[in-house]
C-alpha cells in the first residue's frame, strides 16, 4: 500500500496538469497567442515524460545498491516536493520568465522521480509479497494509477465548476 503512494501522487498530478492546461498556459506562458501558449504548456508536460527513462537509469542501480525502500522514499520525496513546488509557484506575471523556467525544472524533477518510482515500487512489492500473491500485490500498484486518474479528473471537475476562470488562472 505505501509503495503505491508515489504512483498515486505521480498520476494524480499528471492528470490534473492535463485538465487545467489552458489555465497553466495563461499563467506561465502568456505569449498573446493562446495556441502557442498551450503548445508551450504541453511541452512542459512532455518534459516529465521524456525524463522518465533518465529516472529509471539513475534510480534502478541505486535501488540495487542502497535498497529499494530507501531509494523509493527519496523518489517519493522528490515527487512530492516538485508537485508542491508547482502548486505554490508564482506566475509569469509575478516573477517573469523565471516562472516558466522553474515550471520546466520542477516538471523535469517530477519526470526523473516518476522514472524511478514505478519500477522501484513494483520491485519492492514483488520482493516482499508472498510468492503466491505477488501478482495481486504488484497489480495493486497499477490499480493505483487508475484511481489517481479518476481522483484527478474529479478534482479538476470540482475546481473548474466551483472557481471562476480568473481564479483558476491565478
Domain around 35: 2-169
The pLDDT value recorded for residue 121 is 87
Q: How does residue 31 score in pLDDT terms, banded at 50, 70 and 90?
A: confident
Q: Give the whole-angstrom CA distance, residue 107 versus residue 48.
A: 5
Stretch 43-49: mean pLDDT, rounded?
Answer: 93
Question: What CATH number does the domain containing 165 carry?
Answer: 1.20.1250.20
**Domain tally for the chain?**
1
Q: What is the mean pLDDT of the chain?
A: 91
Q: pLDDT tens across 74-129, in order?
A: 998 999 899 899 989 999 999 999 999 999 999 999 999 999 988 888 888 888 88
DSSP string covering 51-92: THHHHHHHHHHHHHHH-HHHHHHHHHHHHHHHHHHHHH---H
The pLDDT value recorded for residue 119 is 86
The pLDDT value recorded for residue 1 is 65
Amino acid at each position: 500500500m505505501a509503495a503505491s503512494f508515489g504512483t498515486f501522487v505521480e498520476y494524480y498530478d499528471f492528470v490534473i496538469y492535463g485538465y487545467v492546461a489552458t489555465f497553466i498556459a495563461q499563467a506561465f506562458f502568456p505569449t498573446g497567442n493562446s495556441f502557442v501558449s498551450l503548445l508551450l504548456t504541453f511541452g512542459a508536460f512532455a518534459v516529465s515524460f521524456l525524463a522518465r527513462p533518465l529516472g529509471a537509469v539513475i534510480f534502478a542501480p541505486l535501488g540495487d545498491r542502497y535498497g529499494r525502500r530507501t531509494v523509493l522514499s527519496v523518489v517519493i520525496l522528490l515527487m512530492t516536493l516538485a508537485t508542491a513546488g508547482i502548486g505554490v509557484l508564482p506566475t509569469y506575471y509575478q516573477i517573469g520568465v523565471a516562472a516558466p523556467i522553474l515550471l520546466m525544472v520542477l516538471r523535469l524533477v517530477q519526470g526523473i522521480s516518476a522514472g524511478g518510482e514505478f519500477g522501484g515500487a513494483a520491485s519492492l512489492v514483488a520482493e516482499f509479497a508472498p510468492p503466491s500473491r505477488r501478482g495481486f500485490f504488484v497489480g495493486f500498484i497499477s490499480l493505483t494509477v487508475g484511481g489517481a486518474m479518476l481522483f484527478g479528473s474529479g478534482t479538476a471537475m470540482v475546481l473548474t465548476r466551483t472557481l471562476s476562470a480568473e481564479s483558476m488562472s491565478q
